[in-house]
Structure 1
Amino acid sequence: MSDNEGRRDLRMPDDGEVFAEVTDMLGANRVTVRCADGVERTARIPGRMQKRVWIREDDLVIVDPWDWQDEKADIVHRYEQSEADQLRNEGHIQ
């Protein structure tokens, strides 16, 4: 039995992307997220995710902050609960 049993390689944030936790559902495909860099942003759920990936409060996501408006971002990925637990256990997020 190895230490890596049950471990999966997970998508990590690319340059400019940050981990975030969904704190509030705003409607109209928008949510409030608390980012790992300490900033609270309004994030947009892109059309390609709207009907395929259900995002709820307390979900862990990766967001791509906008260059021209730092208080806004786009959601690029959502983690399953087991994936979020794995990231916390490995020390990637608090």
Structure 2
Amino acid sequence: MKINNRLSENNLRKPLEGEVLGTIIQLVGYDRAKVKCADNKIRICRIPGRMKKKIWLKENDVVLVAPWDFQADSRGDIIYKYEKEEVKKLKEAGYQIP
């Protein structure tokens, strides 16, 4: 039997260079969400096809955002959704969550 220990410190998905943490403030439709990011910018973020039906997003979820190369201040992609326990671990590690 395989045990999925997603919360171990080594497996916790931390923001890499060019990625920011954010909180979903509104789902706007057409696979997009309005996200308030840790750098105090509000971005319209695209929900990729690989996440659409596997991971359900709702308001106040903490997500990892990759800003686009162009329009970096207003657009981005949601690349990961954090669970409640993972959010606690991020706060303990010193990450600021908007």
- Following superposition of structure 1 onto structure 2, how do residues 15-30 of structure 1 map, counting pairs within 5 Å? 15-30=17-32
Partner of 1:74: 77
The code of the aligned residue for 2:58 comes to R
1:81 Cα deviation (Å)?
Answer: 1.2
Is 1:13 aligned to 2:12, yes or no?
Answer: no
- Which has the larger displacement, 83-92 or 27-36? 83-92
Gaps of 5+ in 1: 1-6
Aligned residues: 88
1:1-94 mapped onto 2 (5 Å cutoff): 8-9=8-9, 10-70=12-72, 71-94=74-97
Task: Kindly state the Cα deviation for residue 11 of structure 1 after the two structures are TM-superposed.
Answer: 0.4
Task: Give the percent of matched residue pairs that are identical in Structure 1 and Structure 2.
Answer: 41
Task: Supply the RMSD in Å over aligned alpha carbons.
Answer: 1.2
Which structure would you say has the larger RCO, counting Cα contacts within 8 Å and 6 or more residues apart? 2
- TM-score, normalized by length of structure 2? 0.83
The residue matched to 1:49 in structure 2 has which SS?
Answer: helix
TM-score (structure 1 length as normaliser):
0.86
Shift of 1:74: 0.2
Consecutive unaligned residues in structure 2, runs of 5 or more: 1-6
